[in-house]
Structure 1
Amino acid sequence: MTRTTGRRAPARRRYARPLLLCAVLTTTVGACATEGARSAPPAATASHVPARDPGPDSTDSRDPARVPATKAAPVRVSVPSLGIDSELMRLGLNPDGTVEVPPPDKGMTAGWYTGNARPGEPGAAVIIGHNDTRFGRAVFHDLKGIRKGAAVDVRDSRGGSVRFTVTGTETVDKDAFPTEKVYGATRERTLRLITCDGAFDAAGHPVDNLIVYAVAR
């Protein structure tokens, strides 16, 4: 459970589900828009993200929740079977309590949500990446091709690496995001990869999210 601070929690309904909202910004290119996730994880896991002193491992000045210098931060994620290999920026909460997503001009860079576990520690580590942005294909464009048993490697700032094995995938309607399943507490060392997926609605937004579930072996 994340340590709480004196910050007042937003209304519970704002924490119903985290979404990556997507938009078609041209007539031919779909884009995951950085309008911010509509909601953060449940209060039991990350409704408060404590402020921490920045350490030498910091890789993203936008991060409102710093990893202590005594902890190695995740800095890279790769999915060898799909040719995915990306640096990791840090993602926290927006001022309105919604979950950050990478900015569109960094579409080829995935982000680690600092309010949950570090990859390799007990708990659910969450990595978010775009499918497409207005600049074109993004880091998780091919994630829908991942298969059960595939390897996902996460490297930290000290050269350590954790290998996760994919246990399954789930495509969900963005209005029915399984918040507790994705962000909830677990004693296992798990990883979730999240991106946009599905058909486009009348406004040009993909209607689904793709979630990849993996566990450290």
Structure 2
Amino acid sequence: MRIGNTAIATVTVVAFCSGVWLLYSGAETHAPPQPGAAQGVFDPGEEARAAPALPPSPPMRIRIPSIRIDAPLTGLGLTKSGSLDVPPAGDKNLAGWYEAGTTPGERGTAIVAGHVDNAQGPAVFYNLGALKKGSTIEVDRRDGGIAVFTVDAIEVYEARDFPDEKVYGVAKRPELRVITCGGGYSRTTGYKGNVVVFAHLTGSH
């Protein structure tokens, strides 16, 4: 997947992570949950449990039952500067996927991203940092199928340490990344980094 990894990392931090709601509501004590260190440890045995890749089909919806996420997906392109575009901030229950890249379920790394909050309050991925390893992510596809992913790890990165290749690099099996903002919070700059969920395909129906 060639989409300008550094540019995508930058737009994720800037566009998803302003923290407008926290800034103007004085709600710093209600900042979104962040993953603990134990959630960032990969299990090498998961490699053997990956399901066969599915044919390409655009995703329509993402569900993460354990943290009550059930949201439609909109296609995201690139901005004129070559960075990843973002879903409209006004729709708090809308996520996006990079539609010129891998579709969720096919071989490679599929990217889904969404806001953690907007000016009105928590948005679609506000609780993403509370996700646990082994949780299930389901993606409804246009072909009528549902791709089922198992979470391998949830990590949080400061913007300056964002591992582009680890997050966006080409995978040999069907993998999914779900990204929102996170890390520390500053009233002057907003969120300082990103929460990233790493998952792989373990089934379909």
Q: Which residue of 1 aligns with 2:161?
A: 176
Following superposition, the deviation at residue 123 of structure 1 comes to: 0.3
Q: Which of 75, 82, 88 matches 1:90?
A: 75
Q: Which residue of 2 aligns with 1:46?
A: none
Q: How does 1:24-103 map to 2 (within 5 A)?
A: 24-25=19-20, 26-28=24-26, 72-103=57-88
Q: Gaps (5+ residues) in structure 2?
A: 29-54
What is the rounded CA distance, in whole Å, between the counterparts of 1:132 and 1:84 in structure 2? 14
Q: Which has the higher contact order (CA 8 A, sep 6+)?
A: 2
What is the rounded CA distance, in whole Å, between the counterparts of 1:110 and 1:98 in structure 2? 17
Q: Which residue of 2 aligns with 1:19?
A: 12
Following superposition, the deviation at residue 116 of structure 1 comes to: 2.2
Residues 153 and 138 of structure 1: CA distance in aligned 2, closer, same or farther (over 3 Å): same
Residues 161 and 13 of structure 1: CA distance in aligned 2, closer, same or farther (over 3 Å): closer
Question: For the Cα contact (< 8 Å) 2:7–2:84, is it kept in 1?
Answer: no
Q: Is the aligned partner of 1:189 residue 2:174?
A: yes
Residues 16 and 139 of structure 1: CA distance in aligned 2, closer, same or farther (over 3 Å): closer
Following superposition, the deviation at residue 17 of structure 1 comes to: 4.9
Residues 16 and 140 of structure 1: CA distance in aligned 2, closer, same or farther (over 3 Å): closer
Aligned-residue identity in percent: 35
Following superposition, the deviation at residue 14 of structure 1 comes to: 4.7
Q: Which of 117, 121, 128 matches 2:106?
A: 121
Q: Is the aligned partner of 1:150 residue 2:135?
A: yes
Moved more, 145-154 or 92-101: 92-101
The structure where helix makes up a greater share of residues is 2
1:37-67 per-residue CA deviation (whole Å, 9 max, x = no partner) reads xxxxxxxxxxxxxxxxxxxxxxxxxxxxxxx
Q: Which residue of 1 aligns with 2:147?
A: 162
Question: For the Cα contact (< 8 Å) 1:23–1:203, is it kept in 2?
Answer: no
Q: Which residue of 2 aligns with 1:133?
A: 118
Q: Which residue of 1 aligns with 2:186?
A: 201
Q: Which amino acid aligns with 1:156?
A: R
Q: Which residue of 1 aligns with 2:47?
A: none
Following superposition, the deviation at residue 72 of structure 1 comes to: 2.7
Residues 168 and 77 of structure 1: CA distance in aligned 2, closer, same or farther (over 3 Å): same
Following superposition, the deviation at residue 129 of structure 1 comes to: 0.9
1:105-157 per-residue CA deviation (whole Å, 9 max, x = no partner) reads 12210101123210000000010011101121100011111000000000111
Q: Alignment length, in residue pairs?
A: 171
What is the rounded CA distance, in whole Å, between the counterparts of 1:120 and 1:194 in structure 2? 17
TM-score (norm 1): 0.72
Residues 197 and 16 of structure 1: CA distance in aligned 2, closer, same or farther (over 3 Å): closer
TM-score (norm 2): 0.76
What is the rounded CA distance, in whole Å, between the counterparts of 2:87 and 2:158 in structure 1? 21
Question: For the Cα contact (< 8 Å) 2:8–2:84, is it kept in 1?
Answer: no
